[in-house]
Amino acid sequence: MKKITVLIPCYNEEKGIGDVIENIPYKKLMALDYKTEVIVIDNNSSDKTIQKAESKGARIIHENRQGKGYAVITGFKSIPKDTDKVVMLDGDNTYLSKEMLRLIEPLDSGFCDVVIGTRMGGKIKSNSMTTFNRWGNWFLTFLVRIAYKSTVTDVCTGYFAWNRHVVDFLADNLESNGFSLEMEMVTKMARMNYEMFSVPITYDERGSSVSKLKPIKDGMIILSTWMKNLNWKPEEPVLLDAEKSKSDYSA
């Protein structure tokens, strides 16, 4: 049986984390021969996030350095060795975990290395994203598509699915500690020529939790990340999946 590890970085998400975990399509994933493990990365929550996540069967790990980037990198480095696919989404229930199969199928069929859940090409509920943020996302995505020759349609999304070897690469090559993380991941994966494709998802209203994003300040940091990675190369060569298989066979 194959294994999917679901990563959920969290900071004070007691209102949404229970629904995120509960709505993961465990039975449908089991029908595809996948067992599922859920890991919640707690980033110094002061509410009942941990208790809610534990009550739903999640494994909790802690990252005391404040920032989503730190939490995600810690999550990447905590993935069990027997994991085949990795899914990541936020803990506020704006991304619907029940739609996870849509991201898994292209990986399972060998169509690509990375699947990105796109809000821009999907269903954005009213009041879930401001017009300013939507235009900013379109602009940043346009820059990535032009400069990095990528087909992605939402560079600020928090919903991803990867083949395991891509996550191993990211864990060793990420630096962002905040909301520029997604831009860093997308641009570095593009530079590594990983095959990335987008699938439409729902982006729901945030509910009672408050967004931590500061549009102007964080937008400038995201833009600087786009510029910084234009000429980026890994310090050491990273084998793509097919190359890894040849190397393992030869050994």
Q: Which amino acid is at 84?
A: D
23/15 Cα distance (integer angstroms)? 14
Q: Is the model more confident about 127 or about 203?
A: 203
Handedness of CA 122, 128, 130, 136 (dihedral sign): negative
Q: Give 179: exposed, middle or buried? Use CB within 10 Å, 0-12, 13-18, 19+.
A: buried
What is the pTM for the complete model shown? 0.89
Give all domains of the chain, ordered by start, each with its CATH number. 2-250 (3.90.550.10)
Closest alpha carbon to 20 in 3, 36, 31, 32: 36
pLDDT in tens, 20-69: 999 999 999 999 999 999 999 999 999 999 999 999 999 999 999 999 99
pLDDT in tens, 187-215: 999 999 999 999 999 999 875 555 566 76
Beta-sheet strands, E only, within 27-159: 34-42, 59-62, 85-88, 114-124
Cβ-contact 10, 41 below 8 angstroms: yes
